Every structure is written in structure tokens, then in C-alpha cells.
Amino acid sequence: MRTTAQNAELALLLEVAGTPKPGNVDRHREYEDLRFEHFLAGAVGARAGLEMAAAGDPLGESFLATIEGMSEQRGGNTQFGALLLQLPLVAAAGDENRSLSPEGATAVVDATTVADAADFYRAFEAVDVAVDDPPEGMEPLDVRRGSDAVPELESRGLTLRDVMERSTDRDGVAREWVEGFERVFAAADAVEQGEGPVADRAARAFLELLADEVDTFVATKHDRATAESTSERARAALDGEIDPETLADEFVAEGINPGTTADIVAAGLFVALERGLDV
């Protein structure tokens, strides 16, 4: 039987293998500076931190270790959001007093500390992550400041949950953290109920999630209107109005990468594997 950390790593690999996954790197499409093989190396490198989280180490320390390990390749940020989303789930699955459920993962989130928040900020020093400018008044807590922001975090006494709560309006990963991982568990259900190769089911779940709700990474990188039209086009692909393969080529050409939706699929795959999904 695979361990919890192995399932988390395998989920990252299955996520990137799923194709067509319009706009993201998958096993048929990649960017010159962000390639399929960077995701393979990112997943392998993250494993030690995943093992820490499963063993009950502090969430922030474990996350920092996943990101440092993930970064040992030349593609830059491959799975920052996916790992951030997986970690409370991995910690819940690894804790015999908790369960891998919305409640179990939320209990992990609720138990995060200021130290966890500090390590989360430190993780931004290991890799470049595309983020929006912070809202007015939040500049001292701009994640791009990395460890320079730690004194501010400490003086305000903000836990990692507190930090995530402040981003729910513009970050789909933060929203999952604070609102019970609803879409992650929906993705797990979709993968479990699907048929055929697991990577194909993951690609289908991706399209469904994207059609259902705007991708906040697209909104950050482009704008809200682009994110909305991205979801409409995903809906058209689901409805058979456009071939998903064609849509994938279009999104790649337009630089539209619905990365947050991919993060949710990666976390959903982890949940499904832990619940016994066969590969």
C-alpha cells in the first residue's frame, strides 16, 4: 500500500499527466520554459515535505520543505498552489485523531499558528509565484516580501489561517482552505465516479471545475473578464461546441493557464487515492 505522502506525490503526477487540460502543462503540451519534466522533478522533490506533513510536523515547516524540494528544477513554480492545497489534507490523513474529510482538514487549518504563517511567507523566497498586488493597507504583508514580512505577521499575531482568510476574495486556494475544501472533495468525487484511465478522469474533472467557476490564477495574471470568458469556453468544450484539444491549443497560444483549477484537481486526486482509488 502506498503511504499518504506517496499518494500526494502520485496525485501531482497524475494531475500533470491528464490531457487535454486546456491552458496548462500536460503530457501533450508544455511551454519552452515550463516543461512537463519540470513538473515530474517538482513532484519528486516535494515528497520529503509531504512526509513531514503526514508525520505531524508543523504545517508551515512541512510546506516550506515541499516548496524548497519542488524548486530543485529549472521551471520555477510548478506546484506551489497544489501543495498548499494538499498539505492540510495530508496532515489530516496522517493524523490518527483526524479524518480525511472537510471537517478533518478544517481542523488542521484552524490549528495553524503564527509560526506556520511565517514559514508560508518564507516559502515565497524559494520560488517566484505570480500574485496580485496586496489590497490597500496590506502592503506590509505582501507575500512577495518573504521573511521580511515575518515581524509584521508576528506583531499582528496572524496565523496561517488568518493569512489565507484575507485572500479568499481573489485566491481560489485560500478560499478552499477557509471554506471547507468543498471543490477539492467535489473533484475527488468526480474522479472516483469517472471511468477509464485516472489521468483522463482528472482532465475531465478539470474542465468541469473550470466551467463551473472562474480560475483565480487567470484573473490574477490577466483580468476578471478573461477569467470569465475562460470558464465560458470550458463550458463550450464540455457541451461539445469546441473540441477540448482545440481549446487547449488556443489557451496555450493566448497564455491562459487555469492553474488554480489544476491545483484543486491535484488535491482532489490525493483525496481519491487515499480513499482507495486504483491506478
Residues that bind a second copy (CB under 8 A): 1-2, 6, 9-10, 13-14, 17, 27-28, 35-38, 40-41, 44-45, 47, 69, 72-74, 197-199, 278-279
- C-beta of 100: minimal distance to a second copy in Å? 19
Q: Which amino acid is at 235?
A: R
Residue 28 Rama label (left phi>0; alpha psi -120 to 50; beta): alpha
Strand extents, DSSP E, the chain: none
Closer residue to a second copy (CB): 69 or 259: 69
Closer residue to a second copy (CB): 190 or 227: 190
- C-beta of 1: minimal distance to a second copy in Å? 7
Three-state DSSP at 232 gives helix
Closer residue to a second copy (CB): 6 or 113: 6
Tell me the CB-side half-sphere exposure of residue 190, using CA atoms within 13 A: 23
Closer residue to a second copy (CB): 17 or 262: 17
**Dihedral sign (CA 66, 71, 73, 77):** positive
Judged on CB neighbours under 10 Å (0-12, 13-18, 19+), 249 is middle
Closer residue to a second copy (CB): 151 or 197: 197
Closer residue to a second copy (CB): 199 or 218: 199
d(CA 147, CA 66): 17
Q: What are phi and psi of 31, to 5 degrees?
A: -105, 155
User: 195, 259, 178: which is closest to 221 by C-alpha?
Assistant: 259
d(CA 45, CA 50): 10
Q: Say how far residue 204 (Cα) sits from the centre of its chain.
A: 17
- C-beta of 17: minimal distance to a second copy in Å? 6
- C-beta of 65: minimal distance to a second copy in Å? 13
- C-beta of 189: minimal distance to a second copy in Å? 19
- C-beta of 194: minimal distance to a second copy in Å? 13
